[in-house]
C-alpha cells in the first residue's frame, strides 16, 4: 500500500520489478561487486541473465562517445609513422583524404 500511495503522489507508474531492475543496474556498475555477486543477490540461475544488466543505456552511450571525442580533441596526437617504402604519396593522400600539401582535404 505504501508503494501504491507513493506512485499516486508522484504521478508515477513504477512496479516492484522496475525497482529490482534499477537495483541490478546499479549493482552491476559498482566496481566493488562482481557479476557473480549480483547474480547471487538477484537470484539468477544463470550468469547470462545477470549479464542483461551490463548493457549501457542510450544516455550512457552518448556520454561515452562525447567524452571520447573530447579526449581526441584535447589529447596531443603523435605524428603518424611514415609509410612503408613503395607507397606513392598521391595514392595515400587520395586514400586517406589528405591534400598533397599535407592538410586535410575534408
- Asked whether residue 64 is assigned to any structural domain, the reply reads yes
**Cβ atoms within 10 A of the Cβ of 51, count?**
14
- Asked whether residue 35 is assigned to any structural domain, the reply reads yes
- pLDDT truncated to tens, each residue of the chain (106 aa)? 888 999 999 999 999 999 999 999 999 999 999 999 999 999 999 999 999 999 998 999 999 999 998 888 787 667 777 788 888 888 888 887 776 554 444 4
pTM of the entire predicted model: 0.56
**Residue 98 three-state SS:** strand
CA of residue 36 relative to chain centroid, distance: 21
Which of 28, 58, 60 lies closest to 44, judged by CA?
28
Check residue 97 and give left, alpha or beta (phi > 0: left; psi -120 to 50: alpha). Answer: left
Number of domain units in the chain: 1
- The whole domain housing 9 covers 2-77
Q: What are phi and psi of 30, to 5 degrees?
A: -80, 115
- Asked whether residue 48 is assigned to any structural domain, the reply reads yes
Amino acid at each position: 500500500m505504501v508503494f501504491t500511495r507513493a506512485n499516486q503522489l508522484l504521478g508515477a507508474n513504477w512496479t516492484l520489478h522496475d525497482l529490482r531492475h534499477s537495483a541490478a543496474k546499479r549493482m552491476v556498475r559498482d566496481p566493488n561487486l562482481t557479476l557473480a555477486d549480483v547474480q547471487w543477490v538477484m537470484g539468477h540461475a544463470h550468469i547470462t541473465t545477470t549479464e542483461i544488466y551490463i548493457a549501457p543505456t542510450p544516455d550512457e552511450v552518448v556520454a561515452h562517445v562525447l567524452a571520447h571525442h573530447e579526449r581526441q580533441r584535447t589529447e596531443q596526437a603523435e605524428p603518424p609513422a611514415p609509410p612503408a617504402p613503395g607507397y606513392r604519396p598521391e595514392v595515400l593522400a587520395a586514400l586517406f583524404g589528405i591534400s598533397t600539401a599535407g592538410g586535410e582535404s575534408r
